[in-house]
Amino acid sequence: WPLVEALKRVNALRASREPQPESLRAPVTPLLDIVLCYCGRGERIDWLRGFHKLPWRNENRSASTTTRVALRFYHKCGAMGDEQREEETSKLKDEWSDYFHTVEVRYVDDQVRADDCSAYLAYIVDRYDDLPEFAVFLHADAPEHIPSVDLLMDAVFAASRGFLPKEAGFVHLAHNYVRHDCPGNRTGCKDPDAPEVARLWRKVFHSSIAPTRLEGHMNGYCCVQFLVRRERIRLRTKQFYVDALNFFGDTAESYYELFPVGKVVWTPDTRGRTPCQLAMYFWHVIFGEDLWLPRRHRDSRLPLFIRMLNIEAEAALEAQRGEDGAGGRVIQFTGDNTGSEDTYYRLQSLFMETGQPP
């Protein structure tokens, strides 16, 4: 462990954060946007209160969240009239304005269902020229994809306070890491979606070639909950995102690419929102990561608090197969999964929290 280097970094950080006289402080503006892909039909978003205080921890981060974090709803269930939309917008703003610096509601109307693809892309197109330092892209059911919500809350707090290292340009927060090359599979590995993935890839990236997932060219986390720096978003032009939004949301082109002949939107693809599901492994590449995104706990660019949470059991199997190199070790954490330490209990306690910010 490079403890000396760590202490140097801590001391440098402390020195850079010395309090300034009130007259010299710049006005505090949001440094981070939470972009929430939202429907509102039975979705519970009480967990957003956790950005202020988690019931099982003593820290209160209300002051930081209300001055540094904006909440932007990208509403995907907009089959309602203008009056209903205004009522829904007012309701969301009234409920959450005391919790965040800014609360906005933006309706995204798709030609064919595009879920988080059009929500995330619409945000980038909307704000490309005025992005905050960080954007965190989430589903309304984010805790289902991030079992330890401490990881999410701590990452947002650290980013909004300027505590993340520059090397952390993209951080996937989800739990389920997917190996498309089927390691350890003794019965053969197949990728029935390979032709469709290749066609989607070529369209999104304007490319003549596409990675082969079965060959292990592209792996990453499922279910698109991630944090991105502004510079990473701007690695690609605004027109790239405009084209991608048009492909996934404003037209049915992404669905046409799934069908071998003609312009057909197949009903099962609509129900399964297939184009966006297949493209979920594109995001880290869009934002400048290698095709093979490393598991968080193996990514030396990330701070320890991010690397040590939500490690899957499959990571231990990979280590046993020697994929961490000679003498490789996987960080493992075990404990009593009862009472207040249990993930289910914690999430339930978060949902039960009511009232105004602490």
pLDDT of residue 172 exceeding 60, the answer is yes
Confidence of residue 352 (pLDDT cuts 50, 70, 90): low
Mean pLDDT across 186-210: 90
pLDDT of residue 268 exceeding 80, the answer is yes
pLDDT of residue 146 exceeding 50, the answer is yes
Identify the pLDDT of residue 308.
Answer: 84
3-state secondary structure of 302: coil
pLDDT per residue as tens digits for the range 100-113 = 999 999 999 999 99
Phi, psi of 9 (to 5 degrees): -65, -40
Q: Minimal CA–CA distance to 181: which of 212, 138, 158?
A: 212
Identify the pLDDT of residue 318.
Answer: 74
Cα separation, 280 vs 18, whole angstroms: 41
Identify the pLDDT of residue 40.
Answer: 82
Average pLDDT value for the chain: 86
Identify the pLDDT of residue 41.
Answer: 78
Mean pLDDT across 274-283: 96
Mean pLDDT across 173-195: 82
Rg of the chain on CA atoms, in Å: 21
Mean pLDDT across 265-292: 95
3-state secondary structure of 7: helix
Q: Which of 1-10, 62-71, 193-202 has the lowest mean pLDDT?
A: 1-10
Identify the pLDDT of residue 286.
Answer: 98
Mean pLDDT across 66-92: 92
Identify the pLDDT of residue 48.
Answer: 97
Highest mean pLDDT among 33-42, 191-200, 235-244, 328-337: 235-244
Cα separation, 240 vs 256, whole angstroms: 20
pLDDT of residue 56 exceeding 50, the answer is yes
Cα separation, 2 vs 345, whole angstroms: 36
Confidence of residue 319 (pLDDT cuts 50, 70, 90): confident
Cα separation, 269 vs 255, whole angstroms: 7
Contact of 29 with 313, CB cutoff 8 Å: no
pLDDT of residue 335 exceeding 50, the answer is no
3-state secondary structure of 271: helix
pLDDT per residue as tens digits for the range 245-255 = 999 999 999 99
Mean pLDDT across 209-230: 93
Structure tokens belonging to residue 325: 């190199």
Mean pLDDT across 19-40: 72
